Amino acid sequence: MTNKELTHEQQEELIKTLKARFEKNNERHEGFDWTNVQEKLDSNPKKLWSLHEMEATGGEPDVVGYDAKTDEYIFYDCSAESPKGRRSVCYDREAWEARKNHKPENTAMDMAKDMGIELLTEGQYRELQQLGKFDLKTSSWVQTPENIRKLGGAIFCDRRYDTIFMYHNGAESYYAARGFRGSLRV
- Report helix angle 45-56 to 108-115, nearest 10: 140
- Report helix angle 34-42 to 8-24, nearest 10: 160
What does the DSSP 8-state code read for residue 159? Answer: E
Q: What gap in Å lies between CA 174 and CA 176, rounded to an integer?
A: 7
Q: What gap in Å lies between CA 106 and CA 76, rounded to an integer?
A: 21
pLDDT tens, the chain, 186 aa long = 457 888 989 999 999 999 999 999 999 999 999 999 999 999 998 999 999 999 999 999 999 999 999 999 999 999 999 999 999 999 999 999 998 889 999 999 999 999 999 999 999 999 999 999 999 999 999 999 999 999 999 999 999 999 999 999 999 999 999 999 999 999
User: pTM, whole model, 2 decimals?
Assistant: 0.94
Going by their DSSP bridges, the two strands 139-142 and 118-119 should be labelled as unpaired
